[in-house]
């Protein structure tokens, strides 16, 4: 069982950037560190640096990829684990993702008609709701 070998004994801690990457909240560890440096990561309400240590029970708030994630650490892992194991390492209290907005289909012009005229462009903008 690789998951048991990657978890740390009770009482130990791990860097916040390494944990965020390990439980697959970000794609890479450098993205996790960049989020910390930019102030997009808060632990128990405080902005933290990448080297801040996490312990079980800490609340982590991460704003990444246009979405806010609010998780409570339930288990510490040092190495990246699979998705089913990663979900067991935290309790997700995040708000549901916003619904995807309906986007108007992109206007497709017939082949060979050339560039749209100023009148055509204005009609397209009016139909798309840009004006």
pTM of the model: 0.70
**First-to-last C-alpha distance (Å) of the chain:** 59
33 token code pair: 């560190």
pLDDT tens digits in sequence order for the chain, 131 residues long:
444 445 556 567 899 999 999 999 999 999 999 999 999 999 999 999 999 999 999 999 999 888 899 999 999 999 999 999 999 999 999 988 877 776 556 667 788 888 889 998 898 888 877 76
Q: What 3-state DSSP class applies to 66?
A: coil
Helix (H) or strand (E) holding 72: strand 67-73
């Amino acid at each position: 069982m690789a998951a048991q070998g990657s978890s740390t004994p009770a009482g130990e801690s791990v860097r916040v950037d390494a944990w965020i990457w390990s439980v697959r909240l970000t794609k890479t560890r450098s993205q996790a560190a960049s989020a910390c440096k930019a102030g997009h990561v808060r632990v128990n309400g405080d902005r933290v640096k990448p080297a801040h240590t996490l312990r079980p029970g800490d609340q982590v708030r991460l704003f990444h990829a246009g979405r806010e994630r609010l998780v409570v650490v339930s288990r510490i892992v040092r190495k990246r684990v699979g998705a089913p194991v990663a979900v067991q390492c935290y309790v997700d209290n995040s708000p549901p993702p916003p619904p995807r907005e309906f986007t108007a289909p992109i206007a497709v012009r017939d082949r060979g008609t050339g560039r749209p005229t100023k009148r055509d462009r204005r009609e397209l903008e009016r139909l798309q709701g840009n004006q």
